[in-house]
């Protein structure tokens, strides 16, 4: 949402003290929770180098800087629960950012573009080093093998969830007519894929849904 740290800070700094938290879970509450989570995600992406393999390898000094920025900018209580919750979230979004760069700017439709021209906190040297790591044959083999094993499991889990929701509405679920071409519908889920180190990240997964067009029923995945 916000890729310029200064622009987001300017939005946050003029706000009243709007952050409220569930102190049993650490979750942020209220109408401004999207702004808060976007800010934490941006800190994770912009303060931590994409060349680091695992979140566990990020220096504690960097994590402390992120937490100090969160507390000072957003008036967040300094508790162990909140620090653990939101530093972990920053790490999650950092991993997702690395996967997004890989899937879009290395293997995807934006491979002809340079993300450092979009994200002000990236530089050309860092991007080229990251790109070289992701194009290494070792990483490509790991990525392909993991996807091949994981996607069928995600397919079954997604189908089970969708069928449960359809059944809860009292709608019939049936197989497609024999020989009838399926009507494709696209949906997206997230799943973990490995870093070079074996760490997990989130990537978008495209799934094909088959729909019985005349009756409007989900019939297969």
Tell me, what's the pLDDT at 167?
A: 80
Q: Tell me: the pLDDT tens digits for 47-71?
A: 999 999 999 999 999 999 999 999 9
Helix (H, G, I), strand (E, B) or coil at 152: helix
Per the DSSP assignment, residues forming a β-bridge with 218 are 211
Q: Tell me: the pLDDT tens digits for 116-145?
A: 999 999 999 999 999 999 998 888 787 777
Structure tokens at 50: 């994409």
Mean pLDDT of 1-14: 50
Instruction: Give the integer Cα–Cα distance in Å for 133 and 112.
Output: 17
Cα distances from 33 to residues 27, 37, 89, 205, in angstroms, run 9, 6, 13, 26
More confident residue, 157 or 210: 157
The secondary structure of the chain as a DSSP string is ----HHHHHHHHHTS-S--EE-TTT--EESTTHHHHHHHHHHHHHHHS-TT-S-GGGS-HHHHHHHHHHHHHHHT----HHHHHHHHHHHHHHHHHHHHHHIIIIISSTTTTS-GGGT-TT--HHHHHHHHHHHTSHHHHHHHHHHHHHHHHHHHHHHHHHHHHHHHHTT----PPPTTPPPPEEEEEEEEEEE-TTS-EEEEEEEEEEEEETTTTEEEE-
Residue 16 has pLDDT above 80, yes or no: no
Cβ atoms of 50 and 98 closer than 8 Å:
yes
Tell me, what's the pLDDT at 21?
A: 86
Q: Tell me: the pLDDT tens digits for 74-84?
A: 888 899 999 99
Average pLDDT, the chain: 76
Instruction: Give the integer Cα–Cα distance in Å for 142 and 148.
Output: 10
DSSP 50: T
Instruction: Give the integer Cα–Cα distance in Å for 205 and 97.
Output: 15
Tell me, what's the pLDDT at 6?
A: 54
Instruction: Give domain limits for the chain.
Output: 5-134, 137-220
Q: Tell me: the pLDDT tens digits for 170-194?
A: 877 666 666 666 555 444 544 445 5
């Amino acid at each position: 949402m916000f890729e310029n740290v200064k622009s987001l800070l300017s939005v946050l700094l003029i706000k009243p003290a709007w952050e409220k938290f569930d102190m049993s879970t650490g979750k942020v509450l209220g109408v401004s929770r999207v702004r808060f989570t976007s800010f934490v995600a941006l800190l994770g992406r912009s303060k931590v180098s994409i060349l680091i393999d695992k979140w566990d390898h990020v220096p504690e000094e960097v994590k402390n800087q992120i937490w100090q920025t969160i507390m000072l900018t957003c008036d967040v209580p300094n508790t162990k629960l909140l620090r653990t919750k939101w530093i972990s979230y920053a790490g999650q979004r950092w991993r997702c950012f690395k996967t997004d760069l890989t899937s879009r700017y290395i293997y995807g439709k934006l491979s002809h573009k340079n993300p450092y021209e979009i994200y002000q906190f990236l530089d050309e040297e860092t991007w080229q080093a990251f790109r070289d790591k992701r194009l290494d044959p070792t990483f490509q083999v790991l990525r392909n093998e993991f996807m091949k094993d994981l996607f069928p499991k995600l397919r079954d889990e997604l189908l089970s969830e969708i069928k449960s929701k359809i059944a809860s509405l009292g709608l019939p679920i049936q197989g497609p007519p024999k020989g009838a071409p399926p009507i494709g519908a696209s949906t997206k889920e997230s799943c973990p894929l490995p870093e070079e180190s074996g760490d997990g990240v989130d990537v978008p997964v495209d799934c094909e849904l088959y729909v019985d067009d005349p009756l409007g029923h989900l019939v297969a995945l």
